[in-house]
Structure 1
């Protein structure tokens, strides 16, 4: 026997269903925000990354040998843990875009390991070192007397090669050099692929990686995820307690839901065209003028190459941390062009003048269009 629903019960349900729906939406939003905000390790040369391009395996090997690897994302974090007895590893120098920032990085104590630094970074952190052309990554003999390299034997080295007057060691065809300016040991490698999870087991890569990074008991692994400039002071959100931040977000969601409910009662929102339209191209043009004013052709060329690779690598069905040789081979097969020419365009030296920069942009655009249309 069913109990008839009285008007009073229906009225109560109408009153509370909106509140219950709002609470459910707030709960779902909170769960979603927790999931999104939870940091996920990954990325090329990320010490916490477990993918092919990460270096988690190396960090664990070093930990077993008593070497503590601490990964940092900002200069402030690096300053707080770097000591004269530690090793500072610049894993992603392409994200260090500001001269003032590089000057402050130069003040960090301890020895250094620079991974594939470009000209601007070399000028600030390794003056006197010049960058040569790109060398194909393959198994190479040490060809030097450096203890770390001799013990490792053959390793998959390549990338940029470097030259410096009177180095303490120049190994693997110049793709690894070591010298001691101002009493501090600085080691430079042309590519970090031998450090990654996917390449560590090949040849003597693991031994070379451990020998280079494990020279100290503490390693500051500096791997930014985004380009860094002048670091701003802490924001208000960073200074507030985490609980207060969640309370504010909850109130914002509640107010938004109330506004939506009231807005439906008041009728549809009337749209009005804005009197000003800002073209997205103006931002790119302004940044280009800034690069030209500062004659930062190396940075501009690197930005063009990085942006092109970010767009075409997914079209090739490759992972973001794929090796340069893999990317070049895939493009050559896809568009039917010479692999050497493609490598020179994507990984060659920085443009020497404006004409070469313009030519580089045209070549990159051509490769991207051919990959997209093929």
Structure 2
């Protein structure tokens, strides 16, 4: 005898499987999103997938069998360096203290400098100096194997280098890439970060150049400090950011500004009193302002000026503050006029002191007379 499963039970089992499938899909999507989401980081951060990070290059190097070790401190980078290793030093905002640069200078192995500052270049590549950038065509124009294999590259901006007198330097890309031998160490310097960051790695031959330079040794020590090390109160100066060849230019500019300031400066003498060349009577001033109001048909401004002047003289006599409420002013004026037997209609006083602007010139004249009457009666109270 065969038992039959109720339809309600079958539908319940189906919905449980559908719900389980939806949960698995959502969980898989969440995990995929988390794994593929961009990871923020600083400049040349090997773990950052943002535009300024270098995660893509590090991943490519490891796929090609290069042993990439990330050093978080200068002492760790020096300890990991050794024969048949390449120490990559990426210039960041956290690399400027002399102690760190001295530690890196004493490390063994070859050296690859990425966009070094003036202080970093002086400590790690003392036989190089900045050179004026003439042109940057993107072609290697040199015999360096790594550059020849990469071909044309794309640099948005770059420093150029040249060697001191007597130093044999291989120069590529208009001096943006140079290499020379310093004792038993090969020093390579590149004046830009464009060929290693995630955002520009795929432009032209940038990826090939980065792979050829950073992957030239089986072991790569990556040092691009993302945090401050040691004493944070070091003796860094703004002059460390100025290339050597520009020091004289900055000095000449400062001298020129000082000379211009001395030339244009004026000595302030003592204050002296001067008599006015012309004395203008008050009546002429009032008449001139009235003519200006009339020529521009500015009856509203003229009425506002008359009312403001009247209130400024009335309020102290009535014992009211300058910011008194209009209703309080009307009440005080009405009471004062009533005591003298004058026109004490509150509506008339309200219209005169705070009413609309006159429509005609005759209305303006009548308003002036009304204001004068109110002020005269209050003044004689």
TM-score by length of 2: 0.51
Counterpart in the other structure of 2:112: 113
What is the deviation of 1:132?
2.9
Residues 163 and 169 in structure 2, CA contact (< 8 A), matched pair in contact too: no
Secondary structure at the aligned position of 2:198 is classed as coil
Question: 1:108-129, CA deviations, whole angstroms, 9 ceiling, x for partnerless residues?
Answer: 1111111111222222211121
Secondary structure at the aligned position of 2:220 is classed as strand
1:174 is aligned to 2:175: yes
What is the deviation of 1:168?
4.1
Counterpart in the other structure of 2:335: none
1:285-300 matches, within 5 Å, as 296-299=237-240
The alignment covers a number of residue pairs equal to 216
- Structure 1: gaps of 5 or more residues: 1-39, 232-285, 303-346, 360-374
Residues 150 and 205 in structure 2, CA contact (< 8 A), matched pair in contact too: yes
- Counterparts of 2:83 and 2:40, CA distance in 1: 28
Secondary structure at the aligned position of 2:108 is classed as coil
Question: 1:267-293, CA deviations, whole angstroms, 9 ceiling, x for partnerless residues?
Answer: xxxxxxxxxxxxxxxxxxx99xx66xx
What is the deviation of 1:220?
0.8
What is the deviation of 1:221?
0.7
Instruction: Give the CA RMSD over aligned residues.
Output: 3.2
- Structure 2: gaps of 5 or more residues: 1-38, 256-381
The structure whose RCO (Cα within 8 Å, separation 6+) is larger is 1
Change (3 A) 1:226 1:167: farther
What is the deviation of 1:153?
0.3
Residues 114 and 189 in structure 2, CA contact (< 8 A), matched pair in contact too: yes
What is the deviation of 1:50?
0.6
Secondary structure at the aligned position of 1:52 is classed as coil
Structure number with the higher helix fraction is 1
Residues 133 and 161 in structure 1, CA contact (< 8 A), matched pair in contact too: yes
Counterpart in the other structure of 2:148: 150
- Counterparts of 1:187 and 1:355, CA distance in 2: 31
Change (3 A) 1:57 1:348: farther
Change (3 A) 1:94 1:160: farther
Counterpart in the other structure of 1:212: 213
Counterpart in the other structure of 1:187: 188
Residues 93 and 121 in structure 1, CA contact (< 8 A), matched pair in contact too: no
Runs of 4+ in 1 over 4 A off after TM superposition: 133-136, 347-359
What is the deviation of 1:99?
2.2
Residues 196 and 206 in structure 2, CA contact (< 8 A), matched pair in contact too: yes
